[in-house]
Amino acid sequence: MTFATLGLIEPLLRALETLGYQTPTPVQAQAIPAVLAGRDLMAAAQTGTGKTAGFALPLLQLLAMEGPKVSANSVRALILVPTRELAEQVHEAVRQYAENLPLSTYAVYGGVSINPQMMKLRKGVDLLVATPGRLLDLFRQNALKFNQLQTLVLDEADRMLDLGFSEELGNIYKALPKKRQTLLFSATFSDAIRTLAGQMLNDPLSIEVSPRNVAANTVKQWVVTVDKKRKPELFVHLMRKGKWKQVLVFAKTRNGVDALVEKLQGLGINADGIHGDKPQATRQRALDRFKASEVQILVATDVAARGLDIEDLPLVVNFDLPIVAEDYIHRIGRTGRAGATGQAISLVCADEVNLLSAIETLTRQTLTRQMEQDFEPEHRVPDTDASGQVVKKPKKPKKPKTSSGGKRNLGKWVESGDASAPEPSIKPVRKVPVFNTGPRKRKP
């Protein structure tokens, strides 16, 4: 099968040839004809399998072949994404695909000035990539109209429909035309999300090109158990032992990102970090430097877990396990992309055993455990398995206490006797201090 057999027009085929695309991936092979046919779609596929091209290519073709010219402050197709970094990445892919088409594309997101975005939208945009918050800001300031909207795409749909975005999405839906094509793409769909999505779509076609909620088999995964306080020390040890060259590290909190970056930089290691508190320009600069191998270690919160494409990234380290199990799949999906192999290591302490169990249940696999010499945890991480159970080992029975010298403890009394005599069941009490009962000396 080729892209030509999927019905794509010649300008798109030329762009794909320039980009080196040869054979459609399974999700592209199924999604492209469905989108061209005007179907609503819910597509699930593992990360790194080409979902962006699966919706962007047919969407650009529909815009080029159908519909009137875009009006001022209007948009004909809208792609919603959860993060600023993903907005930039998706728009760059769209821009490359549309290189030979007479279409305008643009991306809007928060963290930067809104005024240049308002100016850009005055002439109208055929295809707009946006984060929900900034899109609403532009709409409420009358910088954007939806009367010409033909297609809505939710990329990383499970996160977009999560509780954190539900209010914003609800307000956006109220402003959109009732008659439109809606496409949902993601690597993971929970049952609750599927139910909600089913209410949004019109007779949707469901595409699943791989088992649900399963990480790509090109990624080798394992766990290293360690005490929480020794995680930074273990990370540096593993980095030096493995001679890691380029590593994406995920931490749970913004403070955790900053603390690890500070420690690594203090050791002379070329590290940088990105999280939601940093200005967008700073985040993008750190990401660009990491992609260019100018930064060895990039530490991030889950703003970097979704959709980011870092070419030939060899290793992902979960310094902290994610709170939401689905985010584990997206995190490790930054490596092992497009058929390449990768590794994912998780540093797990006893406090994270329930998070580990949730990940294993979701992915239906029990992760291999290792212990690093000299870093064995004092607080044992209970065993887990893919059934969702935390396996607690039975406590060893306490051995009866026998006092030395053939003496037995009888309450607070001590009796001499045969050392082999059976131990009484009464628990011995602490020794009572002996006080001097002789005549007290008066102070002179």
Listed in sequence order, the residues at least 6 apart from 374 whose beta carbon sits closer than 8 Å to its beta carbon are none
> What pLDDT score was predicted for residue 407?
46
List the domain boundaries for the chain: 4-208, 219-391
Decide if pLDDT at 210 tops 90. Answer: no
- 3-state DSSP assignment of residue 348: strand
Distances (CA, A) of 69 to 34, 66, 270, 278: 24, 9, 49, 38
Structure tokens at 204: 């949707």
Decide if pLDDT at 439 tops 80. Answer: no
Contact status, residue 26 vs residue 207, Cβ threshold 8 Å: no
- Helix (H), strand (E) at residue 282: helix 280-291
Over residues 154-177, the mean pLDDT reads 80
Domain 4-208 and domain 219-391, same fold? Reply is yes
pLDDT tens string 192-202: 667 767 777 88
> What pLDDT score was predicted for residue 415?
43
> What pLDDT score was predicted for residue 347?
96
Give the Cα separation of 194 and 183 in Å (integer): 13
> What pLDDT score was predicted for residue 82?
87
CA 399 to chain centre: 48
- 3-state DSSP assignment of residue 236: helix
Rg (CA), the chain: 30
Which candidate, 316, 327, 322, places its Cα nearest to that of 213? 327
Decide if pLDDT at 49 tops 90. Answer: no
pLDDT tens string 245-256: 999 999 999 999
Give the Cα separation of 317 and 234 in Å (integer): 12
pLDDT tens string 370-395: 999 999 999 999 988 777 666 655 44
Distances (CA, A) of 253 to 203, 256, 274, 300, 322: 40, 5, 11, 9, 10
Which candidate, 305, 310, 316, places its Cα nearest to that of 287? 310
Listed in sequence order, the residues at least 6 apart from 398 whose beta carbon sits closer than 8 Å to its beta carbon are none
pLDDT tens string 66-119: 878 999 999 999 999 988 888 988 999 999 999 999 999 999 998 889 999 999
Give the Cα separation of 338 and 340 in Å (integer): 6
Distances (CA, A) of 113 to 110, 119, 126, 305, 424: 8, 11, 22, 25, 79
- Helix residue ranges, H only, 145-253: 157-160, 163-175, 191-200, 231-242
Give the Cα separation of 163 and 308 in Å (integer): 22
Strands, E, within 226-270: which ranges? 247-250
Own/partner contacts of 369-372, CB < 8 Å, gap of 24 or more, are 369/222, 369/223, 369/224, 369/225, 370/222, 370/223, 370/224, 370/225, 371/224, 371/225, 372/224, 372/226, 372/234, 372/237, 372/238
- 146 pLDDT band, cuts 50/70/90, is very high
Over residues 1-15, the mean pLDDT reads 93
pLDDT tens string 225-243: 999 999 999 999 999 999 9
CATH topology of domain 219-391: Rossmann fold (3.40.50)
- 3-state DSSP assignment of residue 284: helix
Tell me which amino acid residue 52 is.
T
Give the Cα separation of 291 and 298 in Å (integer): 10
pLDDT tens string 294-336: 999 999 988 776 656 777 788 999 999 998 888 888 888 888 7
Give the Cα separation of 331 and 215 in Å (integer): 10
> What pLDDT score was predicted for residue 182?
94
Decide if pLDDT at 64 tops 60. Answer: yes
> What pLDDT score was predicted for residue 398?
53
The CATH classification number of 4-208 equals 3.40.50.300
Give the Cα separation of 384 and 441 in Å (integer): 67
